Amino acid sequence: MNTLAAPSRLALYLNLIRWDRPAGSYLLLWPTLSALWIAAGGFPGWHLLIVFVAGTFLMRSAGCAVNDVADREFDRHVKRTAQRPVTSGAISPREALVFGAALAFVAFLLVLTTNLATVRWSVAALAVTLFYPFTKRFFSMPQAVLGVAFSFGIPMAFAAAGGGVPALAWWLLVGNLFWVLAYDTEYAMVDRDDDLKIGIRTSAITLGRFDVVGVMAFYAAFVAIWAWLGAGIGAGWPYFAGLAVAGAIAAWHYTLIRTRTRDGCFRAFRLNHWVGFAVFAGVVADFALR
């Protein structure tokens, strides 16, 4: 009789940090790099590029470990998450936290090669990341907290490139927060039935029958704010072309989520990084052609 071999420890840790599902890292990476290019007025140099790319992947991985520990009791009752390593007991909560802390420490070592302002903002970013998983218990829109966490690379990029965080950085963060609200509401729509049973609060539940309208409004706010800011900094046509492509992708997502099927909503979420990539490509092209 054939039996399936138990996964190796390496495979379990890679599963813990979603190594085979990098879409979440891209969602964090593209707005961070867009801000880095804007802050630096073009290519920021290899040092900062490596720090922010590596730091993004490390911190997203650490965040996954913390999130799985915080949500392990809830995840047992959700079809999509029941077999996660911590939830299934394959990795203990202590192991996951130690591993996550190690990843965060390596990311912090990278930040130490920048400047004091960036180091200070990295501490705030870590605090928001640790706080987010617990907001599902009492806050009706925890996706907004995730939006802050997933947008904190923007002020950090400005701090690293210029030593300070101007108003522009905070407005870019606000705009990006609306994008996070859009795609994470799509994500929450996948698990809505399970979340209602176990008492988790999400934007999909809070918005109710206005969930699809809400998602599209969030997308529109994101594109509008970044377009307004682009006009303010004198951005050229490539910047706005990137936003137009992002807007077109967002409009296409309406066809995926309007019937609220699990597969459609999850596909919309999983492909969302192309929205961020389109904006980043427009930013890079704009500065390259100046």
pLDDT per residue over 84-105, tens digit each? Answer: 888 877 888 899 899 999 999 9
pLDDT at 3 over 50: no
Q: Which amino acid is at 157?
A: A
pLDDT at 10 over 80: yes
Specify the CATH number for the domain of residue 194. Answer: 1.10.357.140
Q: Is residue 1 part of a domain?
A: no
Instruction: Give pLDDT, residue 26.
Output: 95
Residue 171's domain comprises 9-130+139-288
Q: Which amino acid is at 68?
A: D
Stretch 110-122: mean pLDDT, rounded?
95
Contact 44, 289 (CB under 8 A): no
Q: Is residue 205 part of a domain?
A: yes
Domains in the chain: how many in total? 1
Q: Is residue 212 part of a domain?
A: yes
Q: Is residue 40 part of a domain?
A: yes
Q: Is residue 66 part of a domain?
A: yes
Instruction: Give pLDDT, residue 5.
Output: 53
pLDDT at 107 over 60: yes
pLDDT at 45 over 60: yes
Alpha-carbon torsion (76, 78, 80, 81), positive or negative? negative
pLDDT at 82 over 90: no
Instruction: Give pLDDT, residue 224.
Output: 98
Percent of the chain topping pLDDT 90 = 66
CB atoms under 10 Å from CB of 99, counted, come to 17
Nearest 5°: CA angle at 196, between 260 and 221? 50
- The model's confidence at residue 1, banded by pLDDT at 50, 70 and 90, is very low
Instruction: Give pLDDT, residue 13.
Output: 84
Q: Is residue 4 part of a domain?
A: no
Query: pTM of the predicted model, to two decimals?
Result: 0.91
For 187-200, the pLDDT digits (tens) are: 999 988 888 888 88
DSSP 8-state class, residue 19: T
Q: Is residue 260 part of a domain?
A: yes
The first and second tokens of residue 14, run together, are: 């890679």
pLDDT at 143 over 50: yes
Q: Is residue 254 part of a domain?
A: yes
Half-sphere exposure of 181 (CA within 13 A, CB side): 27
Instruction: For residues 171 and 177, give the distance between their C-alpha atoms in angstroms, rounded to a whole number.
Output: 10
Contact 120, 126 (CB under 8 A): no
